Structure 1
Amino acid sequence: MTTQTTTPETAETPTTGPATGLVALPPHLGRALATAGGALAAVSTFLAWTWTGAFPGNLTVYGYPGGLQVLVLIGGALTTLLGLSTYGVKGLRWLTPAGGDAALKLAALATFATTWYTILAISFQLGGLVNLEPGGYIAALVTLAALLGALALPFQRPEPDPVDPDDTGWEQYKHRLAHGWQTLRATFSAGAPRPVRTLPSYAEILIIVGILALCLTVFTYGIGTEYDELFVGFLITAGFCFAALNKAGLIAQATQITARHQNITICGAFLAAALFPFTQTDDQYATIGVYILIFATVALGLNIVVGLAGLLDLGYVAFLGVGAYAASLVSGSPTSPFDVHLPFWAAVLVGAAASLVFGVLIGAPTLRLRGDYLAIVTLGFGEIFRITANNLDGTSGPDLTNGSNGISSIPDLHILGFDLGARHDIAGFSIGRFANYFFLMLIITAVVVLVFRRSGDSRIGRAWVAVREDETAAQAMGINGFRVKLVAFAVGAALAGLAGTVQAHVTYVVTPEQYLFAGTTPPNSAFLLAAVVLGGMGTIGGPLLGAALLFLIPNKLQFLGDFQLLAFGLALVLLMRFRPEGLIPNRRRRLEFHEEAEAPAVLGKTGA
């Protein structure tokens, strides 16, 4: 038996098919051009890019990058480091465990795209290229040179399948289009990862701390972008830099390290999230933070139904509404028909219990269906809930929900004498109303994560996975498929109702229009399902990250107006095309979508 090893050179240049770059330059010259271009792009951010402060971000200062220049500085620095790593510079080899050429291409593309977006935005807003200072022209030229150098690096050009001469013109066009997609993916493909030495436990824990600090910094920067151009540039830089780090193999290494210390990672993540309100000077962005946590908690509950049990629920947002309505009716609202004001813990139990009961009542007659039929029934339940809440206004039905006016003037929560609606001073920091609710939702999210982990690792969790993979085979092995699915439906509904109780107090009002199947803003059933699928089904971090992105991006893209959904939908299509397993997939889904890429790592030995 002999062991097959992979060197950096063979990782970047597969052994079959023509390995060439898109630009006719020698690879060593292209690598040098990309590295030097990234370094010069970083230097150019210390120059003035425009003469007037009319463009936001103040790009007129020499020696101090501002606004979009900071993003170009990050992209240029990453391009330079990856380029030096491909040269084998001592101390930087750890940056590219899976090979550096593919990562270098994406980093150069990130720097180029952010720079040219900034140049075009300046020209469009200020009235032409005449408004650029020499620093802007230098940045545009050096990033273009860096991109051309990166595209000169070799990649494995896929051999096209033979075209059937009897095919119609449309079929031949689809064939060429499919080959174009394969070529595009091969351009930025990475080779097999090189073996990495295992670090001591304390070093891995320090790495986890650094990862969490980086995540908190990126999230805080993204949520605090003050103008539209900066947020679009942030999306460009963050997206391509994440792809570059993924191709370099750093994301896979970080995943392995966090998996070995899962408890520490989860506790550290909640501690980092708890620090978020202290990074804000006012309550403006804490508002977005608390809504993200509500959306993420509901998405994690849906992940039990969809990700673990494999049940396609298109009306899940109705359980959020049931919990919100139940809590608002017993929380002392003057518009509630019940003269009841229960404490918070009792309102939480009422909201969760009401959603659980509705989950059982809806699931009992419908969970014997499978696939598309179950999806249609759950979609109908979501619409029935909204219409029923509209009709319980005292005219079309009993006076219970005030119809389209909803339950309003819901009072703020008081927990152990602590008024969540008032501003408090903690350790010299002023914590506002939404920051208070942010901490409360963080505790509830921790409870939901605990329930998800414990149920997923339990006997019932393994039964959910078995039913998801093949219900007929699971029943043949003695698993009661109907009972298992009903438990998943009930648990997911209860968790959604738990988040709904807090949502009712945060928004002050609960109306039927908040719980649609689809809309321009979350939470709704379509966005919740997208958060689970795009984030990564069956994982904890996937729905949390997916929910954060799906709430933050539409909130920041409101300046696009009617084109908001078009841009958002295009981004989702591209994400699903290039990462269909989700942003944080489990190993099963990664193997399902990238089995050919995992094969060299799994089959590392061959017969002599």
Structure 2
Amino acid sequence: MTSTTTDITTKAATGDGIALPEKAARALATGGGALTVISCFLAWTWTAAYPGNLTVYGYPGGLQWLVLVSGALTTLFGLSSYGIKGLKWLTPGGADAAVKFAALATLWTTLFTAWSISDTLGGLVNLEPGGFVAVAAALATYLGARALPFERPVLDPADPEDSTWEQYKHNARNRREIVKAAYAAKAPAPAKPLPAWAEILVIAAVLGVALGVFTYGITTPYQELFIGFLITAGFGFAALHKAGLIARFTTLTARHRNVALVGAFVAAAAFPLTQTDDQYATLGVNILIFATVALGLNIVVGLTGLLDLGYVAFLGVGAYTAALVSGSPNSPFGVHLPFWAAILLGALASMVFGVLIGAPTLRLRGDYLAIVTLGFGEIFRISMNNMDGKSGPDITNGPNGIAGVPNVNLFGFDFGAAHTIAGFTIGRFANYFLLMLAITFIVVMVFRRSAESRIGRAWVAIREDETAAEAMGINGFRVKLIAFALGATLAGLAGAVQAHVNYTVTPDQYVFANAVPPNSAFLLAAVVLGGMGTISGPLVGGALLFLIPNKLQGMGDLQLFAFGVALIVLMRLRPEGIIPNRRNQLELHKDLEAPTVLSKAGA
């Protein structure tokens, strides 16, 4: 058998199939990015009929801002690749891969803008010279980035006299060498230690930028701008990851976990202060509700490995319980408990249902458990529909639901009224956003403490191998029942707030799947998409999966199709999720060396 490799550091003469001298390719990518930035200060169309007013010379508008950001990012990474002293810190993990993804952001955002202008106004004739300059510059940037050299291991061919199985093993070893070489090339260089106060300032600055990006995305006023934002943000995040900046920031947050956690919630609390329109504050509070419920489901799915397809029913149990005891005129009980009592009852009712459903079903595994939980979700919805006084007892007012849920009044503070604090006027939905943020903080702390506790380690053991865990003395049924009950309790907390935010609780809000979240399918997708077993993963995944359908309602029937295609692509390219658990990442990428990845594990 021949050796696997001879030299895994031989530099290829060309880039990804494009033959250009390295200096020319680097100059083309960097100069093209700069030219793209300049083109954003030119008019791209002649009429203001296209949203964003791209007719102004000397000032970007609408989608031009996104092209400008991606072009500037490409230029900065390109300059960093020259080894300029003041910019080398931008690419601790290597500049070339970062330039390629930033160039993709520039190209696709520019092409989408040009296509959108042509489609909306009726042809390419509606593009001004500035638009053509932008397209040409973006193409030049992409070609230059594609031509950048890359490290490729040189592998010996298999011996033709080997058997088919031996050739297969030889090819598998070659693939592992390629992946290991690529992974080593991406590994961030060790960062110079900074004083603790400087690291905290860096964390604060990054969180401030994250707040700005989130605010921009949630306040995009038209569909074309939001699609452009998704393209720029997606490829831009990939470019930052390839540059090694995400790994650097992760290292800092791991070093200052409590500071990062508090800083993240402070940044989130600043969001309502940036809003003057309740439309976006409403969207913000509903995103928080959905993301918090997804984090509760992460205990069941991500930590314990139980496939729950009816989890949204626990959200409904909490919402219905709170609505029935909060003084709604449609409630047959005629009681009006304070909010703190209503939210505790909602959480308690969800926990009881979690135990009642989990006790007889958690001895099942895999597909059988999934089918039972799916059935529970449908039974809950149908039961709420039938409790209308005709098909069953008069409790939930049937399909009309429980309307007129009053606003929360907590210790004399009316969440339904606007308040002026330190010069900022905070409206109704901003009040609920801050209330839900406090609930989210509680859920995050419960998840974090549980995951790091003895019971959390037992959940992970059950997830990895239930038979082996039970052989080591873990009571599998009890441990799974605790996870099921805790996840249901957290969903009940969010449901109690949801009932007051929406004024009305109806059965059609709690289905398995439809085009608008929350529903069980979207909740499960949020956990898988964001990253199972992590804290920030389901929060990010939940925010995206609630925001995208609400922003793309104009696509009609194509909305779910586009969403499904995007999920397939993401799961193919990054099956471990946007913010992966390191151990899950290792399991899904078998070719990575275990010591390299596990040394960074701990999420």
TM-score, with normalisation over the residues of structure 1?
A: 0.91
* Residue type of the alignment partner of 1:419: D
Task: Give the match for residue 463 of structure 1.
Answer: 458
Task: Give the match for residue 131 of structure 1.
Answer: 126
Task: Give the match for residue 570 of structure 2.
Answer: 575
Task: Give the match for residue 58 of structure 2.
Answer: 63
Deviation at 1:402, TM superposition (A): 1.2
2:238 equivalent to 1:243:
yes
Is residue 14–residue 21 contact of structure 2 (8 Å, CA) maintained in 1?
no
Aligned mates of 2:111, 2:94 — CA distance in 1: 27
* Residue type of the alignment partner of 1:580: P
2:191 equivalent to 1:191:
no
Aligned mates of 1:49, 1:39 — CA distance in 2: 17
Task: Give the match for residue 115 of structure 2.
Answer: 120
2:43 equivalent to 1:48:
yes
Deviation at 1:127, TM superposition (A): 2.2
2:79 equivalent to 1:84:
yes
Task: Give the match for residue 145 of structure 1.
Answer: 140
Aligned mates of 2:597, 2:530 — CA distance in 1: 25
Aligned pairs for 1:142-181 (under 5 A) are 142-155=137-150
2:335 equivalent to 1:340:
yes
Task: Compute the RMSD of aligned alpha carbons.
Answer: 2.5
Deviation at 1:194, TM superposition (A): 2.5
Aligned mates of 1:120, 1:90 — CA distance in 2: 39
Q: 1:160 to 1:298 in 2, by over 3 A?
A: farther
Aligned mates of 1:416, 1:602 — CA distance in 2: 49
Is residue 102–residue 187 contact of structure 1 (8 Å, CA) maintained in 2?
no
Aligned mates of 2:490, 2:598 — CA distance in 1: 41
Q: 1:61 to 1:376 in 2, by over 3 A?
A: same
Q: Compare 482-491 and 393-402 and name the one that shifted more.
A: 393-402
* Residue type of the alignment partner of 1:497: G
Is residue 99–residue 248 contact of structure 1 (8 Å, CA) maintained in 2?
yes
Total equivalences in the alignment: 577
Q: 1:603 to 1:407 in 2, by over 3 A?
A: closer
CA deviation profile, 1:400-449 (whole Å, cap 9, x unmatched): 11111111111111111111111122222221111111011011111111
* Residue type of the alignment partner of 1:129: L
| Aligned counterpart for 1:474 among listed residues 465, 469, 476 | 469
TM-score, with normalisation over the residues of structure 2?
A: 0.91
Aligned mates of 1:589, 1:517 — CA distance in 2: 27
Task: Give the match for residue 518 of structure 2.
Answer: 523
Aligned mates of 1:42, 1:598 — CA distance in 2: 41
Aligned mates of 2:72, 2:237 — CA distance in 1: 14
Is residue 66–residue 109 contact of structure 2 (8 Å, CA) maintained in 1?
yes
Deviation at 1:603, TM superposition (A): 11
Aligned pairs for 1:368-387 (under 5 A) are 368-387=363-382
Is residue 18–residue 156 contact of structure 1 (8 Å, CA) maintained in 2?
no
Q: Compare 500-509 and 587-596 and name the one that shifted more.
A: 587-596
Task: Give the match for residue 485 of structure 2.
Answer: 490
2:544 equivalent to 1:549:
yes
Q: 1:34 to 1:367 in 2, by over 3 A?
A: same
CA deviation profile, 1:149-189 (whole Å, cap 9, x unmatched): 11112346798999x9xxxxxxxxxxxxxx9xx999x9999
Deviation at 1:116, TM superposition (A): 1.5
Q: 1:426 to 1:132 in 2, by over 3 A?
A: same
2:320 equivalent to 1:315:
no
Q: 1:232 to 1:420 in 2, by over 3 A?
A: same
* Residue type of the alignment partner of 2:95: G
2:497 equivalent to 1:505:
no
Is residue 9–residue 152 contact of structure 2 (8 Å, CA) maintained in 1?
no
Aligned mates of 1:109, 1:386 — CA distance in 2: 45
Q: 1:527 to 1:14 in 2, by over 3 A?
A: farther
Deviation at 1:210, TM superposition (A): 1.2
Is residue 292–residue 551 contact of structure 1 (8 Å, CA) maintained in 2?
yes
Task: Give the match for residue 444 of structure 1.
Answer: 439
* Residue type of the alignment partner of 2:35: L
Aligned mates of 1:502, 1:234 — CA distance in 2: 30
Task: Give the match for residue 390 of structure 1.
Answer: 385
Task: Give the match for residue 176 of structure 1.
Answer: none
* Residue type of the alignment partner of 2:589: H
Deviation at 1:598, TM superposition (A): 5.1
* Residue type of the alignment partner of 1:46: F
CA deviation profile, 1:370-410 (whole Å, cap 9, x unmatched): 11111111111111111111111111111111111111111
Is residue 582–residue 598 contact of structure 2 (8 Å, CA) maintained in 1?
no
- 1:92 is paired with a residue whose SS is helix
Aligned pairs for 1:595-606 (under 5 A) are 595-597=590-592, 601=596
2:428 equivalent to 1:433:
yes
- 2:44 is paired with a residue whose SS is coil
CA deviation profile, 1:491-519 (whole Å, cap 9, x unmatched): 11011011110111111111111000111
| Aligned counterpart for 2:418 among listed residues 410, 415, 423 | 423
| Aligned counterpart for 1:412 among listed residues 407, 414, 434 | 407
Task: Give the match for residue 218 of structure 1.
Answer: 213
Aligned mates of 2:453, 2:188 — CA distance in 1: 33
Task: Give the match for residue 530 of structure 2.
Answer: 535
Q: 1:242 to 1:14 in 2, by over 3 A?
A: farther
Deviation at 1:90, TM superposition (A): 0.7
Gaps of 5+ in 1: 1-9, 165-178
Aligned mates of 2:90, 2:544 — CA distance in 1: 26
Q: % of aligned pairs identical?
A: 71
Task: Give the match for residue 358 of structure 1.
Answer: 353
Is residue 405–residue 500 contact of structure 2 (8 Å, CA) maintained in 1?
yes
Q: Compare 24-33 and 106-115 and name the one that shifted more.
A: 24-33
Q: Compare 191-200 and 418-427 and name the one that shifted more.
A: 191-200
Is residue 325–residue 334 contact of structure 2 (8 Å, CA) maintained in 1?
yes
* Residue type of the alignment partner of 1:48: A
